[in-house]
Amino acid sequence: MILDVQNVHKSYGKEKILKNLSFAIEEPKMVALVGPNGSGKTTLLNIITDLVNADSGVIKIMNLSNKKPEIFKETSYMQDNSVLYDYLTGYDHLQFIGDIQGLSKQQIFLAAERIGMEGYLFKKVSKYSLGMKQHLLLTMAILNDPKLLILDEPLNGLDPSSAIRIRNILWELYNEGKTILLSSHNLSEVDRLTSHILFLKEGHLIAEDLSLNQRTLYEITVNDPRAAEKYLENHNVGVKHMGNNQIAVFMHGDTLQNVLQSLLDNKIKVLDLNKKVTGSEDRYQMVFEQKDV
């Protein structure tokens, strides 16, 4: 078990932020935590890394309580840039972590190079742009070569080429067997990174697997949508009457051919067909704005 979060409650004053929230990451994965402003994403990440105490609940990282400082040998946490010191250089920040973790100068340079911040390593943070600060925070997060990276908005404020570079690095880390839990508001970036999404809604998590076959939706126009809906429901595919003569069919491993065959077998005429790949933005609207896709 890489991360196990069980029955976490957290309130600030009368406001209940997290309500009996549980989830687990059992194998290396990239997971995105998505939710509206103020929904509690940072609070949850702070609780996982024990920077904030939950009111109740149990959290384990690699089977160790998150209260044990040893977890930071295998885990890193990228917070927002308010943790940086303006009057220190990027290198100072990295050296501080390097000293705690017993890392060499060379390891620091290699990490900075990997992220692409070697050009301004010795500048003061007060002279950094938002994107440069993100680069430094990410370099700090990869420095100890952790198995679990917890990243709060890692793609915030990056120009397109930086975003591509960071996305590729996240992919590389994932391919090396690391687990990445990241929060993001940028849903098109989330779609490019992962199909495992945790929506944080009103203190609860809704887990979505948006892998390609779960995201493929066919809008089919038929002569008898009610009958089509009825027949397809028996075929274990997600189906929804969209009004007029249209039905939306979510493919869950079933092939399009089977679906069409089943309609034909039941003497239902297919008049039109439109393929749509839905993304986390569509699901976000469904989850948070109760809109149909």
Ligand X SMILES: Nc1ncnc2c1ncn2[C@@H]1O[C@H](COP(=O)(O)OP(=O)(O)OP(=O)(O)O)[C@@H](O)[C@H]1O
Could you tell me which of 61, 37, 35 has the C-alpha nearest to residue 48?
61
Which residue of 39, 162, 179, 194 would you call a contact of ligand X, by CB under 6 A? 39
- Closest distance of CB 81 from ligand X, Å: 13
Smallest separation, CB 3 to ligand X (Å): 18
- If one asks whether residue 203 binds ligand X (CB under 6 A), the answer comes out as no
* 7 versus 42: smaller Cβ distance to ligand X: 42
* Binds ligand X by CB under 6 A, chosen from 6, 7, 42, 95: 42
11: contact with ligand X by CB under 6 A: no
- Residue 44 near residue 32 (C-beta atoms within 8 A): no
Binding-site member from 8, 17, 31, 232 for ligand X (CB under 6 A): 17
38 lines the binding site for ligand X (CB under 6 A):
yes
Q: What are phi and psi of 173, to 5 degrees?
A: -60, -45
- Cα separation, 280 vs 260, whole angstroms: 27
Which of the stretches 35-43, 103-111, 129-137, 172-180 binds ligand X when contact is defined by CB under 6 A? 35-43
Q: Scanning the structure block, which residue is given the tokens 């990451």?
A: 25
Residue 41 binds ligand X (CB under 6 A): yes
Task: Out of 40, 90, 154, 225, point to the residue binding ligand X (CB under 6 A).
Answer: 40
Q: Among the residues of 49-89, which ranges form H helices?
A: 71-74
* 47 lines the binding site for ligand X (CB under 6 A): no
Closest to 3 measured CA to CA, from 36, 43, 39, 31:
31
- Contact status: 12 vs ligand X (CB under 6 A): yes
Closer to ligand X by CB, 78 or 263: give it.
78
Say which DSSP state 187 is in.
Answer: H
Cβ at position 285, least distance to ligand X in Å: 17
| Residue selected from 21, 25, 31, 35 as contacting ligand X according to rule CB under 6 A | 35
How far apart CA 278 and CA 250 sit, in angstroms, is 10
Q: Pick between residue 41 and residue 93 the one whose CB is nearest to ligand X.
A: 41
**Are 218 and 276 contacting, i.e. CB atoms less than 8 angstroms apart?**
yes
The rounded distance, in Å, linking the Cα atoms of 223 and 245 is: 6
Element (H, E) at 90: helix 90-101
Spatial distance between the Cα atoms of 118 and 109, rounded to a whole number of angstroms: 7
* Whether 50 contacts 3, CB under 8 Å: no
Q: Choose between 198 and 259: whose C-beta lies nearer to ligand X.
A: 198
User: Residue 181's beta-bridge partner residues?
Assistant: 31, 150
Please report how close the Cβ of residue 139 comes to ligand X at its closest, in angstroms.
Answer: 22
Interaction residues for ligand X, span 124-153 (CB under 6 A): none
Does position 184 interact with ligand X (CB under 6 A)? The reply is: no
CB neighbours of residue 102 within 10 Å: 8
Q: Which of 14, 37, 87, 243 forms a contact with ligand X (CB under 6 A)?
A: 37
Q: Rule CB under 6 A: which residues touch ligand X? A: 12, 17, 35, 37-43
